[in-house]
């Protein structure tokens, strides 16, 4: 039986959402502005594809997280709403279109992510690097945060992205090690930690101001202490920023929510993380990777910008 069927075969009624998960709808005029721009440039956003609960708030502020490589992913994560299957060819115009969208929205900080492209020899790394360069060329004052896949552990692919000098290098561990087989069957916990360690090591060697970042979802069956152990693992590889948010089942064929974590527990993790030495911990029920991303990186040293100039 396939992994996809295993997820589907054990349906359970959705738990009612607690009061603290209510979201702010925001200004539809600004949301429509972003939507028209994205459609006009033939772009995808993770806001739409992953059914992010913060889409109304972020789009009301005329910000969006761009998703490279199309809208079909080659992996089968049990939590994700993005389509699975065989993706099409990369759009050679996509890097320029992302740069134009950043310019039209007049962004001070942009977040760029992608689907997994295991069908490509470099996992899409060259496409990533070209997008960063195009965004920088057209928007020299804009900070660039990238939320990258693991490139199947390929250090050369990671270095292609690092060569383009992102301001923030984000790679999500997504969940604790014990739950990887169920939540991220095509990925590896240690592989993700190794990617973050390599990025931080090169950053330190070159004395650039790039920040490293990772995030997880909770409510998938982990314990409070297991999250703390994961936080320690991230600090051991010099991760600077961490995000912790509530997992929300996007539709019935995805993994169910095991429990809704209380705001008090999120606050505890934030305090523990700061004690462990993170520069910033964004921890709340509605936190997602790019939620308040500009504020998280506000104290970033200026050496990255200097290196580009």
Assess if residue 5 is contained within a domain: no
Specify which residues 211 forms β-bridges with. 168
For the cut 60, the answer to whether the pLDDT of residue 10 exceeds it is no
Looking at residues 83-102, what average pLDDT do you find? 91
- CA 291, 248, 242, 237 dihedral sign is negative
Q: What is residue 9's predicted lDDT score, i.e. its pLDDT?
A: 44
Assess if residue 187 is contained within a domain: yes
Assess if residue 14 is contained within a domain: no
Whole-number Å distance between alpha carbons of 186 and 163: 27
What are the start-end ranges of the E strands in 160-303?
A: 168-170, 211-218, 241-246, 280-283
Q: What is residue 32's predicted lDDT score, i.e. its pLDDT?
A: 57
Read off the CATH number of the domain in which 195 is found: 3.20.20.70
Whole-number Å distance between alpha carbons of 145 and 191: 21
pTM score, two decimals?
A: 0.81
pLDDT tens, position by position, 178-224:
999 999 999 999 999 999 999 999 999 999 899 999 999 999 999 99
**102-129 in b/e burial notation, b at 16+ Cβ within 10 A?**
beebebebbbbbbbbbbebebbbbbbbb
Assess if residue 266 is contained within a domain: yes
Assess if residue 9 is contained within a domain: no
Assess if residue 15 is contained within a domain: no
With contact defined as beta carbons under 8 Å apart, do 66 and 111 qualify? yes
Residues 6+ apart with CB under 8 A from 251: 51, 81
What is the percent of the chain with per-residue pLDDT over 70, rounded to a whole number? 74
Q: How confident is the model at residue 291 (pLDDT cuts 50, 70, 90)?
A: low
Specify which residues 170 forms β-bridges with. 147, 213
Assess if residue 30 is contained within a domain: yes
Mean pLDDT, the chain, whole residue set: 83
Neighbours of 25 (CB within 10 A): 10
Q: Which of 174, 166, 102 is nearest to 128 (CA)?
A: 166
Q: What is residue 8's predicted lDDT score, i.e. its pLDDT?
A: 40
Assess if residue 12 is contained within a domain: no
For the cut 60, the answer to whether the pLDDT of residue 53 exceeds it is no
Task: Tell me the residue range of the domain where 190 lies.
Answer: 23-308
DSSP 172-212: --BS-GGGHHHH-TTS-HHHHHHHHHHHHHHHHHHT---EE
Lowest mean pLDDT among 69-83, 86-100, 124-138, 145-159: 69-83
Looking at the structure of the chain, the number of domains it has is: 1
Tell me how far CA of residue 96 lies from CA of 50, 100, 111, 126, 258, in angstroms: 23, 6, 15, 14, 41
Tell me how far CA of residue 292 lies from CA of 94, 132, 288, 298, in angstroms: 25, 20, 9, 10
pLDDT tens, position by position, 110-129:
899 999 999 999 999 999 99
For residue 34, give the 3-state DSSP assignment.
Answer: helix
């Amino acid at each position: 039986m396939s992994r996809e069927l295993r997820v589907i075969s054990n349906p359970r009624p959705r738990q009612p959402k607690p009061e603290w998960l209510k979201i702010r709808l925001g200004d539809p005029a600004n949301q429509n502005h972003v939507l028209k721009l994205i459609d006009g440039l033939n772009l995808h956003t993770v806001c739409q594809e992953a059914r992010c609960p913060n889409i109304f708030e972020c789009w009301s502020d005329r910000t969006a997280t761009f998703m490279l490589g199309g809208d079909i992913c080659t992996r089968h994560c049990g939590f994700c709403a993005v389509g699975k299957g065989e993706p099409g060819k990369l759009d050679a115009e996509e890097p320029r279109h992302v740069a134009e969208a950043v310019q039209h929205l007049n962004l001070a900080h942009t977040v760029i992510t992608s689907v997994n492209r295991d069908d490509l020899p470099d996992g899409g790394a060259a496409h990533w690097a070209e997008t960063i360069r195009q965004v920088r060329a057209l928007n020299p004052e804009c900070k660039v945060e990238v939320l990258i896949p693991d490139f199947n552990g390929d250090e050369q692919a990671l270095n292609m992205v690092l060569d383009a000098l992102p301001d923030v290098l984000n790679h999500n561990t997504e969940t604790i090690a014990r739950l990887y087989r169920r939540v991220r069957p095509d990925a590896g916990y240690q592989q993700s930690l190794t990617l973050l360690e390599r990025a931080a090591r090169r950053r330190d060697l070159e004395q650039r101001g790039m920040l490293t970042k990772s995030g997880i979802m909770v409510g998938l069956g982990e314990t409070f202490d297991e999250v703390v152990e994961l936080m320690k693992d991230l600090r051991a590889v010099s991760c600077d920023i961490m995000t912790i948010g509530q997992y929300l089942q996007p539709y019935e064929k995805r993994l169910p929510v095991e429990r809704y974590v209380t705001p008090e527990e999120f606050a505890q993790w934030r305090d523990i993380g700061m004690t462990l030495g993170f520069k910033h911990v964004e921890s709340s029920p509605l936190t997602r990777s790019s939620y308040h991303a500009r504020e998280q990186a506000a104290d970033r040293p200026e050496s990255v910008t200097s290196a580009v100039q």
